[in-house]
Structure formats: structure tokens, C-alpha cells
């Protein structure tokens, strides 16, 4: 008897809903893009950290040399730049054989490049009593893996920035 049967219900829009091929393709593309970006960051993140950290350490060494000159312990302190290292030294000129030199090796993926100092040298000397330098200019620390660099600037008054 049809009078006792329940009335047909309209189909709910969510009841028979399925993902279309375009929606699946979009979701996969989005997932692959995010995964690729994370992979690139995972590989370059530590390299950028090295570059930032070593630039900050070099700036600190320059400030330490300037502060030492200002303290009056010696007439001058300086930093000598080499391609894979920098050396903090005491005195008005750099002596590579001096055992009191404080050598800082850079990681293999970093190098000091584009040294542009007044007088054309490869070192900065801060003199007592005020810590000024006649070798003002800039030094670049470059990541050979990232093809990126950071530049340190030194003013005649010894201010260091990057």
C-alpha cells in the first residue's frame, strides 16, 4: 500500500558528494609546492645562519679590537683579513708569526671578499686613545653556496655596522 510508505526525501548535497579530479590535482599541487619550499629552506637555512653568525662575530671582533685600543693597553689593535679567516692582533702592524694573534677561521662555505678599505690594505688598525682608524671602508662576507653576501662597514671613528 503506497499510503504507508515514507515520502521520498530530497538528496542532501553532501550525501553523494565526491572529490573531482581537478580538486585532487589542486590539492596534490599545493602539497608538492609546500614540500618543495620546505626542502629548499631546510637546505639553505643553515647556510644563511652561518653567514649571519659569522658576520656578527666579525663585527664583534672589530669592536673588541677598537675597545682594546681605547683601553690604552697598547697603542693599537687591529684585524687582518684573509680569504678564509681574520686575525685580531696587537700593535700598529700585523705580524703573522706573533703567537698572541687571535685567528678566526671561517666555515668552508664562507669567504671574505671585496675588501675596500682606505689606503687599499687588507687590515684595519684602531689607535689609542679614541679607537679611530684610517682604514675605514667595507668588507664583504660571502656564502659560496648561496651566492649571497653581507657587507660590514667601518667608519673613521671605528663604528661598525652591517
Backbone angles phi, psi at 139, to 5 degrees: -135, 140
User: What is the predicted pLDDT for the residue at 73?
Assistant: 85
Does the pLDDT of residue 3 top 70, yes or no? no
User: What is the predicted pLDDT for the residue at 38?
Assistant: 79
User: What is the predicted pLDDT for the residue at 11?
Assistant: 58
DSSP-derived 3-state class of residue 25? helix
Q: How confident is the model at residue 6 (pLDDT cuts 50, 70, 90)?
A: low
Does the pLDDT of residue 79 top 90, yes or no? yes
User: What is the predicted pLDDT for the residue at 20?
Assistant: 86
| Alpha-carbon span 33 to 75, nearest angstrom | 58
| Alpha-carbon span 151 to 115, nearest angstrom | 10
Does the pLDDT of residue 14 top 70, yes or no? no
Most distant CA pair in the chain: distance in Å?
114
Does the pLDDT of residue 12 top 90, yes or no? no
The residue ranking higher by pLDDT, 147 or 134, is: 134
Residue 80: Cβ-neighbour burial (10 angstroms; 0-12, 13-18, 19+): buried
User: What is the predicted pLDDT for the residue at 116?
Assistant: 97
Range with the largest mean pLDDT of 21-30, 35-44, 87-96: 87-96
Whole-number percent of the chain with pLDDT over 70: 88
| Average pLDDT score, the chain | 89
Does the pLDDT of residue 66 top 80, yes or no? yes
Amino acid at each position: 500500500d503506497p499510503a504507508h510508505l515514507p515520502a521520498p526525501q530530497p538528496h542532501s548535497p553532501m550525501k553523494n558528494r565526491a572529490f573531482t579530479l581537478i580538486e585532487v590535482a589542486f590539492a596534490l599541487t599545493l602539497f608538492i609546492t609546500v614540500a618543495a619550499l620546505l626542502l629548499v629552506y631546510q637546505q639553505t637555512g643553515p647556510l644563511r645562519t652561518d653567514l649571519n653568525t659569522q658576520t656578527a662575530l666579525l663585527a664583534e671582533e672589530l669592536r673588541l679590537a677598537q675597545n682594546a685600543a681605547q683601553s690604552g693597553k697598547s697603542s693599537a689593535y687591529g684585524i687582518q683579513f684573509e680569504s678564509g679567516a681574520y686575525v685580531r692582533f696587537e700593535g700598529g702592524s700585523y705580524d703573522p708569526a706573533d703567537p698572541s694573534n687571535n685567528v678566526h677561521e671561517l666555515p668552508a662555505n664562507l669567504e671574505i671578499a671585496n675588501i675596500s678599505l682606505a689606503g687599499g690594505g687588507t687590515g684595519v688598525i684602531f689607535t689609542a686613545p679614541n679607537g679611530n682608524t684610517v682604514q675605514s671602508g667595507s668588507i664583504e662576507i660571502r656564502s659560496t653556496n648561496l651566492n649571497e653576501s653581507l657587507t660590514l662597514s667601518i667608519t673613521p671613528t671605528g663604528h661598525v655596522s652591517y
